[in-house]
Structure 1
Amino acid sequence: MSDKLVAYKDLSADAKKQARLDFMNFYIRQLRLDNLEVVSANASDEDMANINHLLEENQYLTIDKLVELAERMVPNLFDAVESSLDMQYHTDGTTAESWNEWMQKIHQGLPVED
């Protein structure tokens, strides 16, 4: 694995596909947990609404099947969402840190109400 880290937009087509599939798994799991606040703070409401509509219409499918469906139907929307997030990638499309670590780091930086 290369030590060079790049933005999503700078990945090759194959690396983007790998990164997108990994992100779809994370996104769908977080949607099911109603835990997309961090993603929605950075991504387009319209893109997320269209993704969520597709996923919720087909919520009876397994996560693997939802990923297949999303990759077939709305990969461009996931590209837009993923491009809006501050994640760095290795050139093979793997993330510099896991999506869960990324989200946890952002949550830790948020102010806490008394």
Structure 2
Amino acid sequence: MGEKLYHFSELSEQAKVTSINAFSKFYVICYRSENMEILSQVPDQSMLWQINQEVYRNKYESVDHASKDTIIYCSHSYEKLLNEIDMRYLANGSTEFPWESWYQQKYAALPHGV
């Protein structure tokens, strides 16, 4: 039997920090590669605007630097976003499977065509 999985809101504060750290790098990469279709499907777009503004401000920095800066200024927005995304987590804040796999699964489930 596998480990119990949790929704972001059920994680401890330390586990939330772990998950935000990992997700922020994925988010910066998606933004920079103009691959925001899946992440932008959340009903409340306000958190995306704040994170995007900070990622843009760090456009010449490394992914690690930009993700750290977005966490400093946008951790609350990351929390709101992760509460709306249907990823499951282990108790330590690690994701059930990699964010890239989650994204590909969501993208493949989209209807094809124009």
TM-score of the superposed pair, with normalisation by structure 1: 0.93
Higher mean displacement: 14-23 or 101-110: 101-110
1:4 match: 4
**Relative to structure 1, is the Cα distance of residues 22 and 44 closer, same or farther in structure 2, using a 3 angstrom cutoff?**
same
Query: Which ranges of 4 or more aligned residues in structure 1 deviate by more than 4 Å?
Result: none
Equivalent runs, 1:1-114 vs 2, <5 Å: 3-42=3-42, 44-113=44-113
Paired-residue identity, %: 25
- Contact 1:24/1:67 (8 A) holds in 2: yes
Gaps of 5+ in 2: none
- Alignment length, in residue pairs? 113
SS at match of 1:90: coil
- Contact 1:6/1:88 (8 A) holds in 2: yes
Gaps of 5+ in 1: none
Deviations 1:50-71 (A, max 9, x none): 1101110121111111122112
Higher mean displacement: 38-47 or 87-96: 38-47
Distance 1:11 1:74 in 2: 19
Deviations 1:5-54 (A, max 9, x none): 00000000000000000000100000000001101102521110111011
RMSD (CA atoms): 1.3
- Contact 2:30/2:36 (8 A) holds in 1: yes
Distance 1:95 1:83 in 2: 13
SS at match of 1:5: coil
